[in-house]
Chains A and B, each alone.
Chain A
Amino acid sequence: MSKATFRISRGSGGDLTPEDYEIEIGEGMVVLDAVHQIQSEGASDLAVRWNCKAGKCGSCSAEVNGMPRLMCMTRLEDLDLSQPVTIEPMHAFPHVRDLVTDVSSNYRAKKSIKPFKPRKPDNADGTWNMKQEDVERVQEFRKCIECFLCQDVCHVLRDHHKHEEFIGPRNFVYSAALEMHPLDTEDRVGDLKKDQGIGYCNITKCCTVVCPENIKITDNAIIPLKERVVDEFYDPFTKLFRMFKPKK
């Protein structure tokens, strides 16, 4: 058994102070285990969200040593324990308490996206036929666990606070899943440009880097959506991007 120190941001409403907790650590522990241990050994009011403890629900997002991560999937073995491990709440959202933030803007943004509207059923029993190859692209997007780490890292939200004008990478992934759904007949391109701010994205790919589900957010979701926008309107970044993209 060895010891490690965790430097956790504590406080309410954005007024945060780092506090150090030293605990015994065991084999295979993840950051979320450390937080739970600290809670049950004394800091019972330490606020944290979690559910599945297996990377499936997207509740335990935080910034560990400055990196947006799922705490339940971050093993202590992979961190430098000679230094205190810092655990901070996500920065892009209004702070509630300790490691908990108010992520409701993401839900509001999603609601602004036009829902799924399928074509007429293919079969008399009201069902459809789709090939596995045709659904795979959409299945990639539907892996999203709504952890909002991509939203946290995107500078348009994090630094420029465009929460009400820019739906963010998570919601572009959602729009892409709908737009590329083989059965869908709705048109969302106008909204993406006008109300949902896709033009603010300058393809930095920071969102893709942090996605725990390895969704190729920028390449597979945002760029194809931008291309659809360009086909209908004009978008400076896509134009640039297209100029440099190798022709397939």
Chain B
Amino acid sequence: MNGYTTHEFDVLVIGAGGAGLRAAIEASGTGAKVALICKSLLGKAHTVMAEGGMAAAMGTADDRDSWSTHFADTMRGGMYLNNSRMAELHAKEAADRVNELEAWGAVFDRTPEGRINQRNFGGHKYRRLAHVGDRTGLEMIRTLQDHGIHQGFEVFMEYTVVDLLMDGGRVAGAFAYERNHGTFHLFRAKAVILATGGLGRCYKVTSNSWEGTGDGHALAYHAGAEMRDMEFLQFHPTGMVWPPSVRGILVTEGVRGEGGILQNSEGRRFMFDDIPDAYSHQTSDNEEEGWRYITGDKEARRPPELLTRDHVARCIIREIKEGRGSPHGGVFLNIHWIKENLKDAEAHIKKKLPSMYHQFKELAGVDITKESMEVGPTTHYVMGGIKVDADTQMSTVPGLFAAGECAGGLHGANRLGGNSLSDLVVFGKRAGQYAAEYASGHDMPTVDEGQVQDIAKETLAPFERGDTGENPFQIQHALQDMMQAKAGIVRTHVEMTEGLEELQKLKARAAECGVQSNRDFNPGWNTALDLKPLLACSEMILMSAINRKESRGGHYHDDYPEKCPEHAKWNTIIHKSADGTMTRTEAEIPAVRSDLQEIIEENQR
């Protein structure tokens, strides 16, 4: 028998990034008794790292913008695999959520008229990203945190949920360990919201922190929820490549939004060489027009560096493969060239991109106001996730909700930059509201002590194997190498098949890993437990990707390099079948509502 402490809440929110905090604020506001759990200290979730901005059609920087254009841009960017109702709600509600942050104390950069300023970003037709220099995520998380601590919900920081508890088909709570001393906690709850973020840690080169192990994805999957679009990963085109220790760390798209250009070893601006048809009418074909766009000329079309991320990433890979890369296997990102057009370019760069300036100066010894950065693609974001109802954010498991990066649907096959921060608060709010409503209409579910003891036993198993088991860090690295090689930015059938085979071996190794010492703040133990979600997520990615025999958005299949209209008709669904095996189906995409379809078509002209 393993001991544990029991807590009871109406609503349990797992994750304290933008989505979880916003959900907890909303649920508390209804009078529900709410707990918020997170793996790190409060305020350290991924959201804090977001740089460029938050997309919302506020029209403060360009009054031609409207929710309908934002909606159409999101659908085009997602290559029409999005849940169109989610894209509609997101476009309609994002501006209110930005204004609400201001009312809670956020201080966004301003327009000359004193309104919230907005910047250019890839795939957005107009200047649409509310921002604070290049530390927008910090502003968002701190605002929500500082407002949130006075809203009455209880925060459990440095607690990690290892499993969800079930009462028949309904979720009944979660089982967690506390990091500092490894004690166990049972959280009973009427409704549970997953807001656990992404899974970039499945890969070797990633912008994600240790937290990005796809826990929510795996928890939902094991609880029987349907998962969608797991083949779609966003490889951000610009991660740092040098020195090796910082490989993968993000270089914000804001650099290109401020006029940064991509060049190969010959100095050529290679993005002009391949402009997809869907975007040719809004993309400039010469440098002069591109610069005019950056300076706010409404007649000018966007420079090709601001095409969608999937496309830019592939162009970079092409340059590298064809031998025109930079010395350390990337390409060049040049912002200092703007001094040709701008008097006080150096001060401007430092003002608009302070943390990029700092990051390159401190970590790579590069002064970006004078030298080009070396950049290459990095695993950044997962479009796929827990399938939810667009309005309520409830998953296919009763009482289990999801919001933010761990939920799927809004972004389809590819997410536009800036659409995540807005996603967090739009759907975080909705999840909080509807989870509280669900809780108020239901009794406390019962918890099965046998189930709890099984989980506790599994959680402690790595200690029993102790020093005789393999070091969990080694297994994690092996998995990351495998996923990087077999399910990366360019995929082939043969490699994905090998990937699935290797995954089975890695699962066997994970089952035999061992850790030393005790339960107090023990990263080895924590890493051993992270292997389970990492493996489940990797399998979902491979299983989904191998079946999509076309290239679309974040999924590029080298055997089928073109988009295929037949494949635009379905989403991949993964779920756990009764015998415990992973099953995949193709679910037909319901027809888009006619008024929304009209908006899409109008914007294609």
Interface residues of A (CB under 8 A from B): 12, 26-30, 33, 39-40, 42, 44-59, 73, 75, 96-98, 100, 102-103, 107, 110-111, 115-116, 118, 121, 125-132, 135, 138-139, 142-143, 145-146, 174, 178, 181, 184
Contact = CB atoms under 8 A, between A and B. Distances in A.
A225 to B, nearest CB: 18
B171 to A, nearest CB: 28
Contacts of B173: none
Interface string B244-266: 11100110000000000000000
Contacts of A58: 44
A143 B104 CA distance: 17
A116 B364 contact: no
A55 B149 contact: no
B517 interface: yes
Given A73-B363, A75-B362, A116-B147, A28 B242 contact: yes
A29 B245 contact: yes
A207 B142 CA distance: 21
Contacts of B516: 44-45
Interface of B: 40-46, 48-49, 99, 102-105, 107, 109-110, 112-116, 132-133, 135, 138-139, 142, 146-147, 149-150, 180, 209-211, 242-246, 249-250, 355, 358-359, 362-364, 471-474, 477, 515-518, 520-525, 527
Given A28-B243, A51-B46, A130-B107, 18 more contacts: A29-B245, A30-B363, A44-B516, A45-B525, A51-B209, A54-B359, A55-B355, A56-B355, A57-B43, A59-B41, A111-B149, A115-B105, A116-B146, A132-B112, A138-B107, A139-B107, A142-B138, A145-B48
18 contacts: A12-B520, A33-B245, A40-B474, A51-B211, A55-B359, A56-B138, A57-B44, A57-B48, A58-B44, A73-B362, A75-B362, A75-B363, A100-B521, A111-B149, A115-B146, A116-B146, A118-B103, A127-B115
Contacts of A184: 105
Contact of A142 (B142, B211, B245, B359): B142
Nearest to A34: B245
B115 A28 contact: no
A129 B521 contact: no
B459 to A, nearest CB: 16
B471 to A, nearest CB: 6
B523 A48 contact: yes
Given A51-B209, A53-B246, A129-B113, A115 B147 contact: yes
Nearest 4 A-B pairs (CB), nearest first? Answer: A28-B243, A44-B524, A129-B114, A116-B105
A181 B246 contact: no
Contact of B473 (A40, A118, A132, A139): A40
A59 B40 contact: yes
B396 to A, nearest CB: 31
Contacts of B45: 51
Residue in A110, A138, A139 with the greatest tally of chain B CB atoms within 10 Å: A139
A188 to B, nearest CB: 14
A56 B48 contact: yes
A118 to B, nearest CB: 6
Contacts of B110: 130-132, 135
B244 to A, nearest CB: 6
A57 to B, nearest CB: 5
A221 B355 CA distance: 21
Contacts of B209: 50-53, 57
Nearest to A139: B107
B150 A115 contact: yes
Given A56-B48, A73-B363, A45 B210 contact: no
A139 B49 contact: no
B524 A96 contact: no
A181 B150 CA distance: 19
A247 B160 CA distance: 55
A44 B363 contact: no
A142 B142 CA distance: 8
A47 B48 contact: no
B182 to A, nearest CB: 10
